Amino acid sequence: MPAAPRDISEEDFREILAHLDKDSDGVVTKDEFRMAYLLIRPEMEAAEFEGLWASMDADGNGELDLKELAAYYGFDMGGFGAHGMSDEQIWEMLKLQDALVEARRADEVQKQPAEAPAAPAPARRTSRGLDGVRRPVTILSESERKAAGVTAYKMPASVGREGLDAHVRLLVASELGDARAIDELISQNLSVRIEDEKGEMPLHKLARGGKEKLLRAVLVQSDSKLVDLNWQDKQGKTPLMLAAEFNHPDLVKLLIEYGSDAFVENAAGGTALHCAVAHKAEDAITTLLECVRASERKRLIDHTDKCGRSVLHLAAFSENENMTQTLIEHGASSASDAYGNKPSVLAAKTGRRNSKDLLEALEKKIAA
């Protein structure tokens, strides 16, 4: 009989701390934490990490201890445990735990003697588009992005636009949703096939802001519309993912109608539906499920990320029972993730009692 699911406990944080201690000297240094944290936040820049570390290293001794790690994730060592943790803190903490376990496994495989049979490599994550073709999950290199005809520009440190290149002004205007500036710039037949240092095109920025009319205007200027609609930033996110994540259902519908592929995967192996569920964007979830072809809907719901988790696993982390119920009503299955956890187990572990009850009922129905 499998072990009963447990809540997040102090032992989880002790396990994370042990994995963070790469050289096993009993101390977790800043560099050790950086190496691990970038597994789940590869896009994080140095200055942002410095701020994060300063907030975590409460005593300023350059080392991370159990109390500091727990405090960062909102876990109360004094008895309240995980009850004060937000959905975002739980989700990030579990992602870090999974990433560290996976990295430790990879290290153990590499340390095997040459004559020993190699451990099977994990299957490479792929993405299956609306045409049914499997595609490797790859984020283009700088040279590949340039070869695709997309020019990169660095965003300014401040919002002032005086003296900026016109393309940079277009990126800034898209970030701010400045309709007048965008209309003026695209009237000059400016190329819209540009991106910033994060790999975001104007389409990404406008999708995040829900600027449907402006997105249409920019898209008209592109001579590679389908490519740009599915262009991935350096986290692997497409404009559709950002529209879904920030809960802009009308824009989600428009992008799919124009040709956005709902099955493209980001760096974590998740789809636009994963993005919507992770951010509890209920309207976007409903629209995605309605707009995808009926024959593809079940596959989208059951699509798994790099940790083997479907959107139902992500919903299990949340206290949003309506979202969980919507996914179940649309046929979500209850398969285990790569670590053997069914959605109900994750819901129990994170203290989501109502979601746990819904998911256990689903599992019993499937088993019947």
Q: Which of 254, 272, 306 is a domain's end point?
A: 306
Structure tokens at 136: 């490797």
Question: Read out DSSP for 88-112?
Answer: HHHHHHHHHHHHHHHHHHHHHHHTS
Strand-pair partners of 182? none
Q: Is the separation of the CB atoms in 248 and 210 below 8 Å?
A: yes
Q: Is 113 exposed, middle or buried (0-12, 13-18, 19+ CB in 10 A)?
A: exposed
SS3 279: coil
Same domain, 194 and 295: yes
User: pLDDT below 70 — which residues of the chain?
Assistant: 1-7, 79-82, 106-138, 159-162, 319, 350-351, 366-368
Structure tokens at 113: 């003697």
The strand ranges marked E within the chain are 28-29, 63-64, 126-128, 134-136, 151-152, 194-195
Q: Would 202 be classed as within a structural domain?
A: yes
Look at the pTM and tell me if it is higher than 0.85.
Answer: no
Same domain, 165 and 243: yes
Structure tokens at 268: 């974590």
Q: What confidence score (pLDDT) does residue 273 get?
A: 97
Same domain, 138 and 95: no
Same domain, 178 and 220: yes
Structure tokens at 13: 């944080």
Q: Would 60 be classed as within a structural domain?
A: yes
Same domain, 159 and 80: no
Q: Would 346 be classed as within a structural domain?
A: no
Q: Would 149 be classed as within a structural domain?
A: yes
CA distance 333 to 131: 23
Say how many C-beta atoms besides its own lie within 10 A of residue 255's C-beta.
29
Q: What confidence score (pLDDT) does residue 107 get?
A: 66
Q: What confidence score (pLDDT) does residue 116 get?
A: 42
Same domain, 87 and 206: no
Same domain, 148 and 261: yes
SS3 19: helix
pLDDT-above-90 percentage for the chain = 44
Q: Would 135 be classed as within a structural domain?
A: yes
Same domain, 211 and 288: yes
CA distance 214 to 219: 9
Nearest partner of 341 among 313, 300, 367, 304, judged by Cα: 313
Q: What confidence score (pLDDT) does residue 217 get?
A: 96
Q: Which of 72, 107, 142 is a domain's end point?
A: 107
Query: What CATH number has the domain bearing residue 72?
Result: 1.10.238.10
CA distance 179 to 213: 9
Structure tokens at 237: 């996110």
Q: What confidence tens digit (pLDDT) does each residue in 57-75 have? A: 988 999 999 889 988 988 8
Q: What confidence score (pLDDT) does residue 12 get?
A: 83
Q: What confidence score (pLDDT) does residue 366 get?
A: 65
Half-sphere exposure of 302 (CA within 13 A, CB side): 13
Question: Tokens 């959107």 appear where?
Answer: 311
Can you give the residue range of the structural domain that contains 47?
10-107
Same domain, 134 and 240: yes
Q: Would 357 be classed as within a structural domain?
A: no
Q: Would 360 be classed as within a structural domain?
A: no
Q: What confidence tens digit (pLDDT) does each residue in 335-362 have? A: 887 777 788 877 777 667 777 777 777 7
Same domain, 49 and 193: no
Q: Would 352 be classed as within a structural domain?
A: no
Query: What CATH number has the domain bearing residue 204?
Result: 1.25.40.20
Q: Read off the amino acid at residue 316.
A: A
Same domain, 243 and 192: yes
Q: Which of 107, 135, 163 is a domain's end point?
A: 107
Same domain, 149 and 258: yes
Q: How many domains does the chain have?
A: 2
